Amino acid sequence: MSEKRIAVIGGGIVGIAVARALIRRGLGEVTVFEKETRLAAHQTGHNSGVVHAGLYYKPGSLKARLCAAGRVAIKEYCLEKSLPYREVGKLVVALDEGDLPALADIESRSVASRVPDLARIDDQAKLREIEPHVAGIAAVHSPHTAVVDYPAITEAMAQDVRAAGGTILLGQEVTAMVVEGTKVRLHTPAAEHVFDQVVACAGLQSDIVARLVGADPSPKILPFRGEYWALDPERGHLVNGMIYPVPDPALPFLGVHFTRGVYDDIQVGPNAVPALAREGYSWGRISPRDTLESLRWPGALPMARQYWKMGIDAIGESLLKPIYFSRARRFIPELQMSDLMAKSTAGVRAQAWSRDGSLVDDFAVDQVGPVTLLRNAPSPAATSSLAIADYVIEKYLPSGR
- Which span out of 27-41, 219-233, 304-318 was modeled with the highest average pLDDT? 27-41
Least confident residue range of 265-269, 292-296, 321-325: 292-296
Least confident residue range of 193-202, 224-233, 338-347, 349-358: 338-347
Contact in structure between 179 and 213 (CB atoms under 8 Å): yes
Q: How confident is the model at residue 250 (pLDDT cuts 50, 70, 90)?
A: low
As a whole number of angstroms, the distance between CA 183 and CA 268 comes to: 47
pLDDT over threshold 70, residue 367? yes
CATH 3.50.50.60 domain position(s) in the chain: 5-46+151-219+361-400
* CATH classification for the domain delimited by 222-359, as one of 1.10.8, 1.20.1690, 3.40.50, 3.30.9: 3.30.9
The pLDDT of residue 247 is 86
Q: How confident is the model at residue 3 (pLDDT cuts 50, 70, 90)?
A: confident
CATH 3.30.9 domain position(s) in the chain: 222-359
The pLDDT of residue 401 is 59
As a whole number of angstroms, the distance between CA 210 and CA 218 comes to: 9
What percentage of the chain reaches a pLDDT higher than 70? 98
Q: How confident is the model at residue 358 (pLDDT cuts 50, 70, 90)?
A: confident
Average pLDDT on 359-386 reads 95
Contact in structure between 223 and 395 (CB atoms under 8 Å): no
Q: How many CB atoms lie within 10 A of CB 118?
A: 22
Length of the chain: 401
Average pLDDT on 179-207 reads 96
What percentage of the chain reaches a pLDDT higher than 90? 77
Please, which residues have CB within 8 angstroms of residue 145's CB and are 6 or more apart in sequence? 50, 51, 52, 53, 55, 87, 88, 89, 90, 241, 242
Instruction: Burial-class residue 163 by CB neighbours within 10 Å (0-12, 13-18, 19+).
Output: exposed
The pLDDT of residue 398 is 80
Q: How confident is the model at residue 2 (pLDDT cuts 50, 70, 90)?
A: low
As a whole number of angstroms, the distance between CA 310 and CA 273 comes to: 9
The pLDDT of residue 297 is 87
Omega prior to 322 cis, within 30 of 0 = no
Contact in structure between 223 and 204 (CB atoms under 8 Å): yes
Greater model confidence, 304 or 32: 32
Contact in structure between 138 and 103 (CB atoms under 8 Å): yes
In angstroms, the Cα distances linking 15 to 92, 205, 359, 379, 383 are 31, 13, 23, 15, 13
Q: 5-46+151-219+361-400: what CATH class? A: alpha beta
As a whole number of angstroms, the distance between CA 251 and CA 311 comes to: 11
Average pLDDT on 22-47 reads 96
Q: How confident is the model at residue 1 (pLDDT cuts 50, 70, 90)?
A: very low
In angstroms, the Cα distances linking 102 to 22, 107, 247, 289, 378 are 40, 9, 7, 39, 22
- Indicate the pTM of the whole model: 0.95
The pLDDT of residue 162 is 98
As a whole number of angstroms, the distance between CA 90 and CA 386 comes to: 22
